[in-house]
Amino acid sequence: MVNILKAHQITHVRLYDANTQLLKALSNTSIEVVVGVTNEEVLRIGESASAAAAWINKNVLAYVPSTNITGIAVGSEVLSTIPNVAPVLVPAMNSLHKALVAANLNFRVKVSTPHSMDIIPKPFPPSTATFNSSWNSTMVQLLQFLKNTNSSFMLNAYPYYGYTKGDGIFPIEYALFKPLPSVKQIVDPNTLFHYNSMFDAMVDAAYYSIDALHFSDIPVVVTETGWPSLGGSNEPDATVGNAETYNNNLIRRVQNDSGPPSQPNMPISAYIYELFNEDKRNGPISEKNWGIFYPNGSAIYPLSLSASGQINGTYASVFCVAKDGADSDKLQAGLNYACGQGGANCAAIQQGQPCYLPNNVKSHASFAFNDYYQKTHSTGGTCDFDGTATITTKDPSYGSCIYTGSSNSTGDGMSLAPMALGPSSSSEATSNMQVCSLQYLISVIGAFLTLVVL
């Protein structure tokens, strides 16, 4: 999975937990990582400073500085999903921060907690938006903590839900960042600010809600946003076309380095939800289909990144090769499948051909696995072969033996240009967590790891 991130030059990820395998794999990559305290852990940490210190020791100190952890998301939408834990949410954040101070990491690693838009009952017009008053006491404590620690307010903003649950109040163009005709302009009647997208209005609603509690200069970072590419019969707006439009327009919006109408000098940072589809997730069909990649790593739709790069249906010089130490019988079985039923072109590993030497099953299997994978991954083919294969970004070509997908390959249109997934900003931000670039969200819930095993 980390090879996929590196191949696409993804520089920021958010995890929903602090998975050991992932954090080890992310070491020495410079990828900025936000780790998560799960909702199940919040109560224990909020009630015990020693539990908070132990969590920091286990999930942060054990990995920094080799793994570039820059943030901690405490729970996920705690006030909306587990309101009984609300009284200990800020104490949990305080205890984690104190543990970071003790480790001299408080300037490097910031603590916050993601909120659902549900905590703002009436987000439009933004100028009158306020947090749910039943949470005022908690929100004041929370905002004071963010202010004191120079941290960001984390918001999960989904125009998809704002549109689909809006009963036709807003046009879909507004949700997808599309231009609106003059007769459909969305204007706040109190400020006369024009809102070109529901995304901007949602972010501004958070700023106005913060202001209503007499706080300011707390940046809002969007920790989840996106659009599903597939839905059920009752989810007609969850389409590949709409997902492609939303995320591409989101990238353009974030790249202009401006804030929402009320905060034009506060550029918006956003994490796309999510990196991979989750084919085993429960719930409506749309819940399984928020990813920009299929579980095998192939792109679901083209994603324009900048003038220099784009994601399409292929990897950027990613190869499928035999694992070191793999069982030779399993390698032979995989080789037989790839060259037979799998349809790989194995002519190059025949005697007298460029890839015949070294004449061993691992070398031959690597070539066959890769040829099979390059031809099939865009339609669901995986790099597994009974656990004997793995993805790599290192070109395995040697001498006159050129692997399919190599920059030196001339066949089948498989020569791949470098691609980037992290459009950078031209400005610096005021907070360590306010990295004004589009950032990508990894989902690590449920069966995530099994979904991305290649």
* Gyration radius of the chain over CA positions: 24
Closest to 199 measured CA to CA, from 241, 155, 232? 155
- Of 32, 40, 47, 77, catalytic: 77
- Please give the angle made by the CA atoms of 78, 82 and 87, to the nearest 5 degrees: 75
Match 């305290």 to its residue by tokens. 37
Q: CA 392 → CA 74, 318, 328, 375, 395, distances in Å? A: 33, 6, 20, 16, 8
Backbone φ, ψ for residue 127 (5° rounding): -65, -20
Interatomic CA distance for residues 3 and 315, integer angstroms = 10
Interatomic CA distance for residues 98 and 33, integer angstroms = 20
The answer for residues whose C-beta is within 8 angstroms of residue 329's C-beta and 6 or more apart is none
Whether 173 sits among the annotated catalytic residues: the reply is: no
For 380, the 3-state DSSP assignment is coil
User: How many helices (H) and strands (E) are present in the chain, helices listed first?
Assistant: 14, 15
Whether 224 sits among the annotated catalytic residues: the reply is: yes
For 438, the enclosing helix (H) or strand (E) is strand 438-441
DSSP 320-357: EEEPTT--HHHHHHHHHHHHTTT----GGGSTTSTT--
- Of 32, 41, 173, 224, catalytic: 224
So which residues are the catalytic ones? 77, 224
